[in-house]
Amino acid sequence: MPDHEHHIASEIQALQQQINTLEADLQACQHQGMTLFSEAPAPYVLLNSQGRIQDVNRAATGLLGRHREVLLGRHFSQFLTPASQGSFELLLGQAVGHGLSRRGEAQLNHADGSMFDVLLDLDAEHIDGEFQRFRLVITDITAYKQAHAGLLDNTAAQQEQLEVHSARIRELNQELEQIVTVFIQQLHLPLTRALNFLGLTRRALGEVADEVNQPLLNTERAVQQIIALMASIERFMQMRSMRVRLRSVDLNSVLREVRKHSRPLMADRNIDITSEPLPTVQGDSRALYLILDEYISNALKFTKEKDPARIHVRVQESESEYHIGVEDNGAGFNMRQKDQLFRLFGRLHSSKVYEGSGVGLMTVRRACMRFGGRVWAEGKVNQGATFWFAWPKQPVIRD
């Protein structure tokens, strides 16, 4: 055999050996791939374009409860509940039409007749633009669905209990309000009679020694304080139960009414009341009147030792609120005690010096809160104070 023929034969033999090696490697890779597919922990199913099963791994046969030979060639939807078959067909059609990954929930029928919830992840496999097959990954979500259903049941039960408790709380609040209202109404007559009796007694006695007259005066003042306290509590209860509604309210008009109402308190006093132009807000005129009336009355009370007394209504505006402040040059207060101001009976000064019930500012706080507002105060001892309320530009009534 000539040398060149021998050389060609050697090259052919070498090429054949390389081909054999590549085929062996390919078979090994295919075997490895099949092993990975078969032994994968997640249930995998390969489907053709019609949704028939081409292959399944061991996890999928365990999940379905059927041998591989039983599953091959059958339509996957046969193992779904009737309610899930239409959803799977839709999922299949979307994957064919758009070539994108699709996900959906379904219910599988196990061989033993039980049903369980699964999540289906469907991918269309293409080679050189040609559809080859579907890869379907099945995830058992039965435990998750059961936990979710249990959570919904618990939430519904808690919501029902909450509604029952809320209704009971509303009922108890209404009952308490009725008791307090009736109690105040029933006390008015005997207290008024007692006050009249004390006045008549002092006038009947005429000029008497201080040891006789002073106890009568102290008793009369005590009864007057009780009547004032009852009036404050009654006002607070009215604010709690007041039916409010939103409408445009000109605070300048409200302030004029408050000043008119406060004239008796300003008699024989040197008082200068000024105001910046006030805004028109969305709110309830009665609630806003109550707030400004309480703040002006408070300023008049704590400036009674000042001559002249100066009261100024200030306005500040933010993006979402109007800040209205009533500033005075009165007794002021220590800022370390500011948190007590708007509490029920939260007095900072002796009732012997400054009369009052300690309920008024609590009423203001309640009125503001019903519209989503808030209250605060700033002051210095003997240098005056400013009592503020923030009123939302878009108030929401909160019962």
Is 230 in the same domain as 296?
Answer: no
Is 110 in the same domain as 123?
Answer: yes
DSSP for 125-144, written as a single string? EEETTEEEEEEEEEEE-HHH
Residue 81 lies in a domain: yes
Residue 215 lies in a domain: yes
Residue 28 lies in a domain: no
Q: Is the dihedral of CA 391, 231, 328, 308 positive or negative?
A: positive
Is 163 in the same domain as 126?
Answer: no
Is 257 in the same domain as 185?
Answer: no
* Four-point Cα dihedral 155, 159, 161, 165, nearest 10: 150
Is 235 in the same domain as 253?
Answer: no
pLDDT tens for each residue of the chain, 399 residues long: 566 666 677 777 777 777 776 666 566 555 555 556 667 788 988 988 888 998 898 888 888 889 889 899 999 999 999 988 888 888 888 877 666 678 889 999 888 888 889 999 988 887 777 777 888 999 889 888 889 889 999 999 999 999 998 888 878 877 777 777 777 777 778 878 887 888 888 788 777 777 777 888 888 777 777 777 777 677 777 776 778 889 999 999 999 999 998 888 888 889 999 999 999 999 999 999 999 998 998 899 889 888 899 999 999 999 999 999 999 998 888 888 777 777 655 555 555 545 555 677 888 888 899 999 999 999 898 888 999 999 999 998 886
Is 209 in the same domain as 73?
Answer: no
Is 104 in the same domain as 207?
Answer: no
Residue 14 lies in a domain: no
Domain count within the chain: 3
Is 231 in the same domain as 254?
Answer: no
Is 114 in the same domain as 173?
Answer: no
Which CATH number characterizes residue 385's domain?
3.30.565.10
Is 162 in the same domain as 131?
Answer: no
DSSP for 278-342, written as a single string? PPEEEE-HHHHHHHHHHHHHHHHHHTTT-SSEEEEEEEEE-SSEEEEEEEESS----GGGGGGTT
Is 347 in the same domain as 256?
Answer: yes
Residue 8 lies in a domain: no
In the numeric block, the tokens 């041998």 are attached to: 67
By residue range, what is the domain housing residue 347? 245-399
Is 233 in the same domain as 254?
Answer: no
Helices vs strands, H then E, count in the chain: 10, 12
